[in-house]
Amino acid sequence: MKVDVNQLAAHFAHIPFQVEGVYRYARNPGVPQADYTDSFPGFVFPLTGKIQFQFDGTPYIFSPGKVVHGGAKMKLDQTVFHRTDWEYILVLYRICSSDLEETSFSHQHFELSTGQSPRLIELITRLWHVYNQRGGISKFQTEMLFRDVLNETLIYVDHRQNSCESDVLFERVSTYIQEYYDQSLTVASLAEQNNVNRNRLSYVFRRHAGMGPAEYVLKYRINMAQQMLLASDASVQQIAETVGIADPFYFSRVFKKQYGISPTEYRLKFINNPS
């Protein structure tokens, strides 16, 4: 199940909950297999290796870089990979409200992709140690640490989802620019076409290309013009128009800024001295 991390964060921001238990499990042939999940929902934080569990028939592989959530009293099946050691920490939590709908996240199973995070592993391991200590201070720290763990998890998931989405957005828009560079292209039109705002589009291009979308379009046009100068006898004005720049003087100025000499000088220099 794919989860909207912002909706998940809002869910935990509004429900009252507390830690019910923190348990560490490792490969041990003597441990009997449970047929159902516990009476409380919980998060699984894999530490090493991999093992597969099915929640109500849906398989999830527990391995580092993932966090898996399971609802209470779900049908559970386990598959141990041959000769594969594994270890994970399970955090069960109690919802302190009877008004929670059955469709809420706490009643569902889903997977979160955090990527390898030493900081998250450090926090979840510390949570396990603190939970197993006695006294009111440890109980208080347990509650605070679990929220730190959730916060760190959600931040990593959000970052990875945004990174993935930005990769797709940059690939889509840059491919479009390379195909239609000769047409009228503006940042506003590209943003509207891809259903994002201009700030988001600019951020994605600066992250992937080191420049804004407008500069990317202009540089691509100039690069195409540079190739045309050497491959055709068309005039500088014709080439400027062909790459989508109507003003030949502006074209020459931008070309000189990028290549150090004017389009005419560039053509003469490299046609006569192709090496």
Is 50 exceeded by the pLDDT of residue 275?
Answer: no
3-state secondary structure 146-204: HHHHHHHHHHHHHHHHHHHHHHHHHHHHHHHHHHHCCCCCCHHHHHHHCCCCHHHHHHH
Q: How far is CA 110 from the centre of its chain?
A: 16
Tell me the per-residue pLDDT of 170-182, one tens digit each, with 9 for 90 and over: 999 999 999 999 9
Note the pLDDT of residue 102: 62
Tell me the per-residue pLDDT of 22-65, one tens digit each, with 9 for 90 and over: 999 987 654 556 788 889 999 999 998 888 999 999 999 999 99
CATH numbers and ranges of domains, the chain: 5-161 (2.60.120.280), 181-275 (1.10.10.60)
Alpha helices in the chain (DSSP H): 5-14, 118-131, 136-180, 187-193, 198-209, 213-231, 236-242, 248-259, 263-272
Note the pLDDT of residue 83: 64
Q: Are the beta carbons of 111 and 75 closer than 8 angstroms?
A: no
Helix (H, G, I), strand (E, B) or coil at 91: strand
pTM score of the predicted model: 0.67
Q: Which two tokens stand for residue 155?
A: 């931040």
Q: Are the beta carbons of 140 and 111 closer than 8 angstroms?
A: no
What percent of the chain shows pLDDT beyond 90? 66
Stretch 237-254: mean pLDDT, rounded?
95
Stretch 196-200: mean pLDDT, rounded?
92
Other CB atoms within 10 A of residue 1 CB: 11
Q: Are the beta carbons of 50 and 81 closer than 8 angstroms?
A: yes
Note the pLDDT of residue 149: 96
